[in-house]
Amino acid sequence: MHNDITAIEDAAEVLRVARRIVVFGCSGGGKSTFSQKLARVIGVRYVSMDREVFWLPGWTSRARSEQRQLIAQIVAENHWIVDGNNPSSLDLRLPRADLVVWVRMPRWLCLWNIVKRGFVYRGKTRPEMAPGCLEQMPDWQFISYVWNFERDDVPGFMEGIRRHGASVPVVQLKSRADMARLLHRLDPAH
């Protein structure tokens, strides 16, 4: 991608003025935790697509048309961090975005984290999920999704960026250290 920001210092400078940020990446990579911290640091609304767009109680998926309507309403606002995957909605999110933060952790770390959160939140609802979506241990289908995310899903994100956000800067965070350094650059108390 020709619009990559490779230095954490440069990403921090963009984030100092950015007010509309799209965050995506593999499940278990830490994008929701990072997005919530970043939203607090820069003072914008945090939006979990899982909680506010995709899911209804009991893991019932919203109708696609309703999802798109909700996303359009959210991105029409002036200040937000939208955390969530779904490359089919990049046509709505990217044209309004000032920056894309791509959380791109190693798959072994993502797998470890989905198993760990299965134990920690089992039978409870995680903060970034819709009410009534009780956490379960990951099944083989979800494990396969995480394991194959780079192969199966990344091409859709790259195409979405190319088609709908070619001028939007993209920073890829590939480690917990990258996340911590970026947050510290924005708020040394972090």
| Sequence-distant (≥ 6) Cβ neighbours of residue 37 within 8 angstroms | 183, 190
pLDDT digits (tens, 9 = 90+) for 110-163: 999 999 999 999 999 998 899 999 999 999 999 999 999 999 999 999 999 999
Q: Which CATH number characterizes residue 178's domain?
A: 3.40.50.300
Dihedral sign (CA 32, 167, 42, 185): positive
Q: What is the pTM of this model?
A: 0.93
pLDDT of 190 > 90? The answer is no
Residue 128, classed as helix, strand or coil, is coil
Residue pLDDT, tens place only, 32-69: 999 999 999 999 999 999 999 999 999 999 999 999 99
Domain that holds residue 128: 4-186
Asked if residue 176 has pLDDT above 70, the reply is yes
Is the separation of the CB atoms in 91 and 163 below 8 Å?
yes
Burial of 170 (0-12, 13-18, 19+ CB in 10 A): buried
Domain count of the fold of the chain: 1
